[in-house]
Amino acid sequence: MTHEFKEIITVYQQALQKGIKAVVATVVDIDGSSYRRPGVGMLIQENGHMTGAVSGGCVEKEVLRQAQSVFSSGKPKIMTYDGRYRLGCEGILYILIEPFEVAKASIDVINTKLQQRIPFQIKSYYIKEEGSHCVMGSIIEFEDDQLIVFSDTARLLLVQQNSSLQCFERIMQPCFRLIIVGTEHDAKHLCILASVTGWEVEVIGAPSNPKQLFDFPGAFLVRNETPENLTLYNTDLQTAIILMTHNFAKDVLYLQAIKNVEFAYIGLLGPARRREKLLSALIAYAPDISDEFIESIHGPAGLNVGAETPQEIAISIIAEILSVIRAQNPISLQDKKGGIHSQTKKQLIDEMHGRT
């Protein structure tokens, strides 16, 4: 959800420059099931423009209507939306709507943390009952103990102790990042689809055939570097890498260049026999390479969905990356037992120990 929060910040910056007031709506609790889980949010501007969503599109009009009282009073409120009768989702949403009055200096801090890929936490304090309440709101906490409040009402939380308040906490990990090594036709389609998914996409191309940012719609960075000069910055467990240069020798050299970086997923384009030849050549070229790195490489990249076109191959690759980073065994949802949403690592551990 970090990419959604990033979009909210970007749009709010524009509204702030124009002097347009804004509020934020956040799902902080659910009784039953819902289309989205707690933590999802949206920005509503006083002119009616909305960014993001708290459901599949059916709740947003009611949120816009309820937000008007927050604009007029300046007080946060809790609204509920009963989907049992309206949506058939058998759940009640509790949505915190609060003023969003973050100063420009604080916005700059948030953007810097996002660029540096530093995790942070958002805590939303609320009363689980409909209506306006003076002391509710959300606070951003960074690892260095720096705090940013959404509004003055949230600032009161720092000086007042209120035991009646509930707190919904969520860790905002760095935006998921996809590094595409290769600039052929299929790389462009993967870039477009990954950016629509909300991922930050970086493209690595060869200096002999340099590409520009406009060649890859949706990418935030395009670099033209040889494997020998390649340096990947701030890679982490929110990073996936796909090698699709269509050049055997280059793929070997790029694998050598990234063998020590941290990542959540790495994939190779091409058939299984190409993967085996690549890994054999890599081991001969770099005999000290770790078994862990070799075993972590997915090739051919993608799930078996019968993909044929570049667009379909991009879908299969993104689907496999999602299944790996969410620790899911891909099956048809109609065959899945329990909820359809992916589980967190803590939920998986709790389930193993019978605590659910």
Banded model confidence at residue 88, pLDDT cuts 50, 70, 90: low
The answer as to whether 25 is a domain residue is: yes
Q: Are 238 and 174 in contact (CB under 8 A)?
A: yes
Q: Say yes or no: 251 and 154 in one domain.
A: no
* Orientation angle between helical segments 185-197 and 310-325, nearest 10 degrees: 50
Residues 125 and 193 in one domain: no
Q: For the whole model, what pTM was predicted?
A: 0.84
Q: In this structure, are 79 and 34 located in the same domain?
A: yes
pLDDT in tens, 141-200: 998 888 999 988 888 777 666 668 899 999 999 999 999 999 999 999 999 999 999 999
CA dihedral sign, ordered 197, 264, 172, 233: negative
Look at residue 347 and tell me whether its pLDDT is greater than 60: no
Distance CA 169, CA 324 (A): 25
Domain match, 120 and 196 both:
no
CA dist 149 → 45, 111, 136 (Å): 18, 15, 11
Helix (H) or strand (E) holding 319: helix 310-325
Q: Is residue 142, in this structure, part of any structural domain at all?
A: yes
The token duo for 277 is 């030849």
Q: Tell me how far apart the alpha carbons of residues 310 and 343 are, in angstroms, rounded to a whole number.
A: 30
Same domain flag for 80 and 186 = no
Q: CA nearest 53: which of 82, 24, 75?
A: 24
Same domain as 182, residue 162 = no
Whether residue 215 sits in one domain with residue 135: no
Domain boundaries, position 140: 2-172
- Kind and range of the H or E run holding 18: helix 2-18
Number of domains in the chain: 2
Q: How does the average pLDDT of the chain come out, rounded?
A: 88
Q: Are residues 123 and 56 in the same domain?
A: yes
